[in-house]
Amino acid sequence: MPPRVPSLEDLKDSAPASRAAQPRAFPSLLLRVFLPLLALGVVGFSALGIYVTWQIGSLPAAASSAGGPPCFEESLGLDRWIRPPVNLMHSMSDEELLWRASWAPQFFRGNEGRYSIYVHSLPSYEANFTSTSVFYQRQIPSKVSEWGQMSMCDAERRLLANALLDISNEWFLLLSESCIPLYDFNITYQYLMRSRYNFIGVTDDPGPYGRGRYNPEMAPEVSIEQWRKGSQWFEVNRKLAIYIIKDTMYYPKFEKYCRPHCYVDEHYFPTMLYIQSPNFLANRSLTWVDWSRGGAHPATFGRKDITEAFLMKVIAGKNCSYNDQLSTMCYLFARKFAPNALEPLLQLAPTILGFG
């Protein structure tokens, strides 16, 4: 008989008595870049690992070291996150303010030794973090990545490869800079560590944005029956992360034949992993987005959208399968949130999300 699906209360109550005695189980969070206003991040759990990629013109390009929620970055030490600065930086743009504030330490604080952080930034960005910063010495060698190009997947593979060098890393999450966590660290940690499956979409879409993007030149390695589509925001364990970075069979086909308007980041990993390990995939992401407004990109939510009712809808708005049983706890993160959504999010997080 399959084990009972853990409830929210089960996950809350299952925090380890001794943090120091725990193996590192949340491998690496990868934040990746694709457009000037987007970033790529991967979170992994052996304890926990986080990757951040940032590409925003003159804004800070990366985050380093271990700690901070999986979306934004700042170059000051950890103590400066805990205490408000003496002189408020009123000259910051909204983007800089959101990046700074959302890396506040409450999400990771007290969980040292259960996560790690890696940063993939613009090659031109020079990190200058103090030794107390959560991003200190976590920046990896990087290259420019472009939306819709194989360089986006290259950045993800580069981050995964760096995280895999730490043999304690077990889970790897890819997140956007516009995301927020929906639960506290321990719930997120336990949800992933107890899962039998990897969280990545592998949809067989018969329409023009699914099979319509398939190129017959990809056969015989990839047939149209094997062609899959999914969100790029994946959560994979160590075994599948190794599949991703070791692949030499499918990579050349996608690099040569999946070009705009194919959008390789939506098809390469879903198709490859579907072919190699279909029984290990949950066929869903843990990052909530809203496509109901139409268009090429999901809805972006600003200040006026952030209400108690909205956040409750995000948290409990869907049924899904978790370890082969019905569950209403389907998402651990949500996106896309505009910079001006920061203030209401911070106000509601303690009561609605349970941290902050």
- Given a cut of 70, whether residue 287 has pLDDT beyond it is yes
Q: Which residues pair with 118 in a beta bridge?
A: 51
pLDDT (average), residues 54-68 = 29
- Given a cut of 90, whether residue 163 has pLDDT beyond it is no
- Given a cut of 60, whether residue 327 has pLDDT beyond it is yes
- Other beta carbons less than 10 A from residue 98's beta carbon: 23
At 265, is the pLDDT very low, low, confident or very high (cuts 50, 70, 90)? Answer: very high
Which is more confident, 246 or 106? Answer: 246
What local confidence, expressed as pLDDT, does residue 46 receive?
33
At 353, is the pLDDT very low, low, confident or very high (cuts 50, 70, 90)? Answer: confident
Residue with tokens 């972006």, as numbered in its chain:
300
pLDDT (average), residues 206-223 = 97
At 306, is the pLDDT very low, low, confident or very high (cuts 50, 70, 90)? Answer: very high
Region of 185 please: left (phi>0), alpha (psi -120 to 50) or beta.
alpha
> Strands, DSSP E only, in 139-242?
171-176, 180-181, 235-237
**What's the mean per-residue pLDDT of the chain?**
75
Return the closest-CA partner of residue 290 out of 332, 336, 329: 336
Stated pTM of the model: 0.73
- Given a cut of 60, whether residue 59 has pLDDT beyond it is no
At 258, is the pLDDT very low, low, confident or very high (cuts 50, 70, 90)? Answer: very high
What is the rounded distance in angstroms from the CA atom of residue 85 to the CA atom of residue 134?
17
At 5, is the pLDDT very low, low, confident or very high (cuts 50, 70, 90)? Answer: low
What local confidence, expressed as pLDDT, does residue 211 receive?
97
> Angle CA(160)–CA(318)–CA(305) in degrees, nearest 5?
85
Region of 226 please: left (phi>0), alpha (psi -120 to 50) or beta.
alpha
Residue pair 103/134 in contact (Cβ under 8 Å)? The answer is yes
Instruction: Give how far Cα 126 sits from Cα of 139, 141, 145, Å.
Output: 9, 11, 17
The helix/strand/coil state of 30 is: strand
